[in-house]
Structures are given as C-alpha cells and as structure tokens.
C-alpha cells in the first residue's frame, strides 16, 4: 500500500486541469487515479494501459482488490478503472463501451472517472445513467467519480468513504451520482 500524498494528488489535479495537451491531461488523471487507489489497503499495484485482444480498446487500469476489512471490502476482487478527462460530460455510448469491457472480462465492478461527470439525469435515470442502472441489473457495479470529488480527498480513507457512499447510492437509487 502506497502512502496517500496530498501534494502529489494536488500536482496531478493541476496537470489534469491545465496541461496544454489532451494526452497529458489524460495521463495526469490516470496517475492521480493510480496513486489514490494504491493508497487503499488491499489494493495491489495496477496493470495499466492494456490494449485488448482485438486491438479495439484500452483498459486504463486494472486493480486486484484483496477485500480487506479496512479497504474496499464491498467491491469484488477485480476493478477496472477508466479515466475520461474530457471538457464535457461522458456520454451514454462511452459508458456502454465501458460496461461492455467489464462484461468481456467478467468484472463485476468498474470505476469511471469522468472529469466532468456523465450525461443525463440521475433522478430520471436517462442517458448515461440509464446504462449504469441497466448494468446493475446484470450484476455489474459502475461507480462514477469526478475530478472535483478527487480534488477534495485529503487521505486514502476519504476515497474508501466516497466509494462506499457511491456504492450505497447505486444499490439504493440505481445511480452513484446525486
């Protein structure tokens, strides 16, 4: 388990928000995600940037989760993380593709880090929110984190609490966003 460094998180966020190049903004968000997740007890080092067998897409990060009591005990042993550092919201099509990647790998949980959120209304469960609700019906948990939420993290335990809150919202209201 790596130590949570607020200074490193802040530096990644600044690069994710301000880098001139879109690829660099994306790499900064991936680095932020990896640093934050590796500070959680039971989360092992990720496998990063793996292109799938058909060369049809890339997995940003795959994390093994040992499911320890002071970690992400409520999530399965395999977690895929997808980072989208876009100016706008991530749409329904991209959420569907992410859910397909989860299904192809028999992963029961995925974390979508969408810098500015996803499309649709979490109350009416339309657009991207609809796909997340439908994935839950198939036993897949998709939790959405935003860049603002990551920026508010002060310690690794804050990420655990945030993900538990989002998991609870997903199970009760079919969306992890308010």
Sign of CA dihedral 116, 122, 124, 129: positive
What pLDDT was estimated at residue 28? 96
The overall longest dimension of the chain from CA atoms, in Å, is: 41
What CA–CA distances, in Å, run from 64 to 42, 81, 90, 109? 8, 11, 25, 11
Q: In Å, how far from its chain's centre is CA 6?
A: 19
List the Cα angle 13/107/28 in 5-degree steps. 15
Averaged pLDDT, 45-61: 78
pTM for the whole thing?
0.94
The predicted-structure confidence for 83-129, as pLDDT tens digits, reads as follows: 999 999 999 999 999 999 999 889 999 999 999 999 999 999 999 99
The predicted-structure confidence for 57-74, as pLDDT tens digits, reads as follows: 778 999 999 999 999 999
Query: How far apart, in whole angstroms, are the C-alpha atoms of residue 127 and residue 51?
Result: 27
Query: How far apart, in whole angstroms, are the C-alpha atoms of residue 81 and residue 95?
Result: 12
**Domain segments of the chain as ranges:** 6-173
The correct CATH number of 6-173 out of 1.20.120.80, 3.90.1170.50, 3.40.1350.10, 3.60.15.10 is 3.40.1350.10
Angle between helices 92-104 and 128-137 (to 10 degrees): 20
What pLDDT was estimated at residue 49? 79
């Amino acid at each position: 388990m790596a130590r949570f460094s607020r200074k490193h998180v802040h530096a990644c966020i600044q690069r994710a928000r301000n880098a001139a190049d879109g690829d660099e903004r994306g790499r900064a968000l991936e680095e932020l995600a990896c640093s934050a997740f590796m500070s959680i007890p039971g989360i092992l080092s990720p496998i990063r940037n793996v292109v799938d067998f058909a060369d049809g897409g890339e997995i940003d990060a795959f994390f093994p989760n040992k499911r320890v009591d002071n970690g992400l005990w409520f999530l399965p042993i395999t977690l895929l993380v997808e980072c989208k550092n876009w100016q706008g919201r991530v749409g329904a099509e991209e959420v569907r593709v992410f859910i397909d990647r989860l299904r192809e790998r028999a992963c029961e949980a995925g974390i979508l880090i969408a810098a500015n959120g996803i499309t649709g209304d979490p109350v009416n469960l339309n657009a991207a929110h609809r796909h997340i609700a439908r994935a839950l019906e198939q036993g897949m948990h998709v939790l959405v984190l935003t860049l603002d939420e990551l920026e508010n993290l002060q310690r690794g335990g804050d990420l655990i609490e945030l993900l538990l809150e989002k998991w609870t919202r997903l199970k009760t209201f079919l969306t992890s966003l308010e």
